Structures are given as C-alpha cells and as structure tokens.
Amino acid sequence: MGRFFYSIFRDLSSSFIMAKPLIFCLFLLFLMQNAAIAQQKSIDVDSLMQLAIDRADQNNPQDVLDHFSYTTYEKTIITDSLERENNAHSFFTEKVSKNNFNTYHGFKEEVLGFNMAGFKEPRYEVLGITLQSRSFYDEDFVIFNYRYAGPLSSRGLNNYNYEFVGDTTILDRKGYAVAFYPERPKTIPGLEGILYLDVESLAIQKVHIGINDELVARIEQEYEYLPEVEVYMPRASKLYIEKGESSKRLSLFRGKVSVGTIQNNPVKEAIEGRYLLLTSYNTNFNLSKGEKLEHPKLAIEVMEGADEKSEDFWTRYRNQALTERDLNSFDYLDTIVETENIERRLAVINNFGIGYYTVDFFDFDLTYPLKYNNYEGLRLGIGGVTNADFSKNFRVEGYTAYGFRDKVLKYGIGGGVLLNESHGAWLSLSYNDDLQETGSFNYLTDRRVYSLFEPRLVNITQFFDYQTFRLNQEYQITPKILSEFQFAKTNVLQTEAYRFVLGDESYSEYDITEATFGVRWSPSSKFMRSEKGTVEIYDGYPKVTAQISKGISGLFNGDFDFTRVGAKFYYQVERLNKSTTEFLIEGKMAFGDVPLTHLFHAYPNAPTKQTIMQRFSVAGVNSFETMYFGEFFSDRLATLQIKHHLRPFNLGEKFKPELVFISRYAIGDISDIARHQDVTFGKLNKGFMESGFEINKILFGFGTSLTYRYGAYHLPSFADNIAFKFTFNLQL
C-alpha cells in the first residue's frame, strides 16, 4: 500500500509546482491520514527519525566531505499569471554560478554569468537574497528570508510530528517515505511535506515541501547519488511561491525580499507579481580539492564580465531552451523599465535605506534636514556627498545647519580620494565647526549607522563647541573587518561653565591633538563583492567594535596627554517563535589628563524636571531612561543591556504590537574628580540598575515605555525613579 501512495505522489509531484495550494495540502493530509494503512511493516517512526537525525553528520555533504564544488544554472521569474497565453513575465533573471565548499570557509558562490531582463545595469542586490537554503540538514531552513525549523536538524523531534507513509525506490535504491508537519504551527513555524530517506544510510533521497503560512510555497528537491563517497548531492530544485490571501505582492528589490506591496513603493507593480517560480540544476560535481580559492571569505563574488555573456554561454548551461514567454520578457521589460524609470527609482530606494536621497551626482544626507535638542532648539540643515556620477575616484562632501535657540550656524566641508576600490580605501580631509555632546565616545566605524529619527538627541542639554581638522583613512581589511584611522586637531570651547584644573593651570578652552584607530568585526555576517563594491547580504551576530585614541600634548599645540579605549559586543538571538533577545556589553577606560568633554557617560536620557509627566519624552534605543543628564561621568565605565522581545501580538494585519522587557546595568568610577570645576556630578562606583518594558508599534510606529530605577542609586522620592516615555520605531 505504501508503494501505491508513493506512486500517486510521484506522478503528481512532476506537476505539483503548478498545482493549486489547497489541492496540494488536501493531498498531503490524505497521505498522513492513511499512513497507518500504508505501513507494510511495524516501524517506530520517532525512533527512525531520531536515528536519521543522529546520522545527519554522516550524510550531510558539508560534514562528510572536506571540499567539493558544482555548477548551478538558476532561472527565476515573477509573474501575475501561470496561464500560457500570457505574453511575458513581470520579472526574469537567470544565472550560472560555481559553488565551492571547504570545511574551513564554508560555501563561496562565484557568479559566472548573470542575465536580467530589462536592466542596462545589473541589479546585484537580487543575488544576495536567500530564496531557499542549500540543505535540509540545516538547523534553520530559509525560504524567501523566512526561517523554518529544519526537519532533520537536532531539534527536529521537538518541532515536528512524523508519520510513516511507506516504502519507496529512488535511483534504484530502497527508501522510506516519511511525512512530517509542525507540532506547534501557530507558535513555531515549520515546514510540511514528505522526506524520502535511504533505507541503509537514512540520507535524504528526495524532498517535497508545502507551506501555507504567511508564504504559500511548494518545493521539490531531487538528489544525485555519488557511490564513490556514498553521499547524496542536491541535483535539481523547483520552488513555487504564491502571495496567498495577503494584499501584498512579491518583490525582489528594496534590499531584501518582501512578500508584497510596500506602502508608497515608487516601483509600483511594474516588476512585482503574484507568483514566483525558481528552478535550479546542479552539474559538474567535483570532489577534488582543485585550485586555491581566491577571496574565500566572501559568500558571493560576481566575476568580471558576468553580465556580458554571449548566447553561446547560456545555451551551454541551460538544461532546456527558454520558453516563448521567457523570450518575450526581454522586450517587454526593456520597455517597462525605461518608460517607468525603474532603474532611477531603485537607486533612490537603495540610497534612502542607508540615509541618502539622490539627485543626479549628489546624495543628500537625510540625517541633516530636521533635528531638535534642548540646547539648539530646532535645528535645520542640509548636506551630503557626491556620488559615482560625479566621480568614482573622488568625492566632495559638506553640510550646514542652524540652531534657532542658540542662533549659531554650524558647518562642515571635506573631500576624499579612493586609493583602493576592492578594500574601500578612502583617504579624506575635512573641517567641521559644530557641537558635540559632552562625555560622548563615538566609534569611527559606526558613523554610517543610519537612523532617520534619533530619539535621544531630543533630550540632550550638555554640549561643547569644537572646530576640527580631520584626516581619515578608511580600509576594509577583510569583508568582515572594517577599520578606520583618524588624526584630528580640535579646538574645544565650552557652552556652559566648566574649568579643567591641572596643577596651577586652569583650562576652559583647550586644544586636543588626537590619533584614533577603530575596527569593527562581523564574524557571522556574509558579504557579496561585485563591480559596485562589497556589501553585507546577511546581518550576522556577534558584532564586535573596538577603538583606541591617543591625545598628544605639544603636537600642533595639543594641551593634554591621555589615552581612551573602548569596546562593545552586540549579540542577538532570533528564535523561530519570532521572539528575540539582545545583549549589548560595553566597556570604556581613559588614562592621563582627560577633561570632562572627553570622559564617558552611560547614555543618560532623563530630563532634569520635577514630575513624571514633565519628563515625558521619547525613549532612546540603548539609553538609560531613568539616569539624569549630567548625573554621572566616569573615566572607567562598563554597561550591560538586555532586551527580550516577545512574539508580536497578531491583532490584525496592520496591528501587531510588540512587548519588550528591558534591564540595564552600569558601573564606573573616576579619579581626581576635584580637577573638574564649576560642574557637579557623581560617581557610578556603586552600580546603577533599571528595568522596565516597552510596548512598541501600537500606532504608526509609536509605542510607550515604562522604566524603574532601583538599587544603590534609588532616589528617595518614588516618582523620581520612574521614566514614562513614548517610543518610535521606523522600519525602512
């Protein structure tokens, strides 16, 4: 009986990609309900699957083989109709790549050919999207950037129910067909389908998957058996995705895959659709070590000339000729992309996501136009930097801003020259006359962490004025290690009463000559390199940032000798139940003659006002909400912040608030506090603690937070220990 059900499934599977989702799901349900009838022998399916999971490291090619490679031809289309009479697709692309694997570096994909209909300039961001994972042995299987528990992962039995379907024969080797479905689909999303396992090794022979979640998806994956190493390698894969009941559509742009129409998307529906179909075929399996791999730390490298391949190249790699609809798509999309000005619109979207709005050869910086703080009041500004349309080897940047409360014009101007394109090596010179927060410690490599809205800036009251000449050298040591060196000469002026006393000398205005070196390491992130440069395509954790700066007296009239060191560690745990936990650990130390402007604060964010409601303002991202501005400064400081995001509450398609629990801790100290005159602040040597919660995204990205201060620095008045604020989360 098992062979009977298998034969039915085999006959239908060849066309299941085009089948309606409901029919497919009913068929899977029918198989599982009749699994007991199909069993010709008594099999404990849980024990069978536990054994298959235990043997995964003996069957997974990435565990068994030290190195291997294969060539992949892949075709992806997006369309609004699966009917043959439709003239063309709304998106068409194909690529040929060589996939290289070794145990030390993992996978590297070399894109040999890339063909995208309609675009004069290739859109490399499409290559960085994970439409589906390479292996069903992975802990998480990714489809269209959605994560699901792997059915043969170490947590498989905790997340899936299994049912024995029957015996099979695939590639002349006997096997078992085992149906599986998620144990708690509303809590932890999972895959649903049938695994075909080799009787002897329990390795995967074939997979059929169906999903009816936020995605409606079908996957059919076939394998090739390599007898010399007794391993099954993936040979062919078909992926079908439908948008389902959602009002959203399928798009491969905006930097990541989104299932649907994004509000105010200027690309509209020109290159979006209802269905996505991906077919891929692997050939030329090679188990020998081969040549030494160049740039092995890249996940994807687009080889030179990949977008200029001849028709002979494509004919050699295609497993079948393009259909008439495929061919019609080229002329159709050429017209659509040109008439709708799609390339220009995509460039605007991509730059907006990193904080710029492009107009011809100039990228306007979106962090400048509108700000507010308690010292400047309303601050209006404009600024930006030239782009590659101006020059690929030179850039000019500048800005100007005006504060309506302090009535002072601020400005900056600079330029840079590209020394090495592959390493992003820019040498820049700039001059700035502006304000900086007292006690801030800015990491050079975090400079372009973009936020359209900076919550904590609204409440800041303590600034110093500076005029600085800077020489900067940016250099990407490896794709995962970004570095920057800066040499700066700064004249510091006070905006409030302060004197720094050293012996018989007293300074309120002083010069700082400082050399700074910073690095940022992202060991788990993945990167892609093309002629457009190196970009991050997978945001992995942890992220480690470190920086050291040296103040030099006597050089260019520098007044003080000191050293400042800082480092931070950020880690995020994302769970399949859509809850997330974040950890941020940071430590900073300063030695020598360090004035208040160059000491450290713990990112306080409580205005110094009487009542809770008078202190009602916007909560920061990583700030201490109950710590008052100017309350503490340190030359040694350590902080720990923990945030736990619960699974969003599903109260409707547009109403999904998030509850976040937060705890923050800080401890620090300061030497020679008497050297800092005309200002009063305390030490943090007893340890500062606060905890609370946020309810985010209640309406239009706005939410609320409540935080309580306790421990050694608990204040006598209960109300003074409470911070009640609103939150704002904007996702681009």
Question: Phi/psi of residue 401, each to 5°?
Answer: -150, 155
What percentage of the chain reaches a pLDDT higher than 70?
87
Residue that has been written with the tokens 């509450």 in this structure: 649
Locate 155 and state its tokens: 């947590």
Residue 4: other Cβ atoms inside 10 A: 12
Residue 692 pLDDT > 60:
yes
| DSSP letter assigned to residue 187 | T
What is the DSSP secondary-structure string of 585-647? EEEEEEEES--GGGSB---EEE-S-SSTTTT--B--SS-EEEEETTSB-BSEEEEEEEEEEPP
CA distance 173 to 341: 54
pTM for the model stands at 0.85
pLDDT higher than threshold 70 for residue 497: yes
CATH assignment, 424-728: 2.40.160
Amino acid at 730: L
Q: Select the highest-mean-pLDDT range: 43-57, 342-356, 633-647.
A: 633-647
User: d(Cα 140, Cα 146) in Å, to the nearest integer?
Assistant: 10
**pLDDT, average across residues 716-732:** 85
CA 54 vs. chain centroid, Å, equals: 32
Tell me if 403 sits within 8 A of 410, measured CB to CB.
Answer: yes
Residue 364 · residue 382 · CB < 8 Å: yes
Position 726 pLDDT exceeds 50: yes
Report the pLDDT averaged over residues 426-452: 87
Residue 315: strand, helix, or coil: helix
Residue 366 burial (CB count, 10 A) = 18
- The full length of the chain comes to 732
Terminal CA-CA length for the chain: 53
Structure tokens at 559: 């007044």
What does residue 53 show for φ and ψ, rounded to 5 degrees? -65, -40
**What is d(CA 95, CA 276) in angstroms, rounded to the nearest whole number?**
16
What residues does each domain of the chain span? 42-342, 424-728
Tokens describing residue 70: 């294969």
Task: Name the more confident of 702 and 11.
Answer: 702
List the single range of 360-374, 378-392, 544-558 with lowest mean pLDDT: 360-374
Q: In whole angstroms, what is the distance from residue 378 CA to residue 331 CA?
A: 51
Distance CA 97, CA 240 (A): 21
Range of weakest confidence among 289-303, 447-461, 704-718: 447-461
pLDDT at position 635 over 90: yes
Please state, in angstroms and rounded to a whole number, the distance separating the CA atoms of residues 192 and 206. Answer: 14
* Cα–Cα distance, 333 to 79 (Å, whole number): 12
Mean per-residue pLDDT over the chain, rounded: 86
Show Cβ contacts of residue 271 under 8 Å, excluding neighbours closer than 6 positions.
78, 90, 91, 118, 251, 252, 253, 333, 336, 337, 342
Q: Across the strands, what pairs with 72?
A: 97, 282
Which letter does DSSP use for residue 181 in this model?
Answer: E
Instruction: Name the residue with higher pLDDT: 326 or 384.
Output: 384
Q: Percentage of residues in the chain with pLDDT exceeding 90?
A: 58
Beta bridge mates, 113: 96
Q: What HEC string does 82-117 produce? A: CCCCCCCCCEEEEEEEEEEEECCCEEEEEEEEEEEC
Asked if 581 contacts 573 with a C-beta cutoff of 8 angstroms, the reply is: yes
The residue assigned the tokens 């022998």 is 41
What pLDDT sits at residue 354? 73
**Of 172-176, 345-349, 374-378, minimum mean pLDDT range:** 345-349
Query: Rounded distance, CA 605 to CA 596, Å?
Result: 18
Written as six digits, the tokens of 291 are 């040549």
Checking if the pLDDT of 14 tops 90, the result is no
pLDDT of 103 > 80? The answer is: yes
Cα dist. 212→146, 242, 574, 695 in Å? 13, 10, 22, 29
Instruction: Tell whether the model's pLDDT for residue 593 goes beyond 70.
Output: yes
Q: Given this model, what pLDDT does residue 35 score?
A: 47
| pLDDT value for 1 | 39
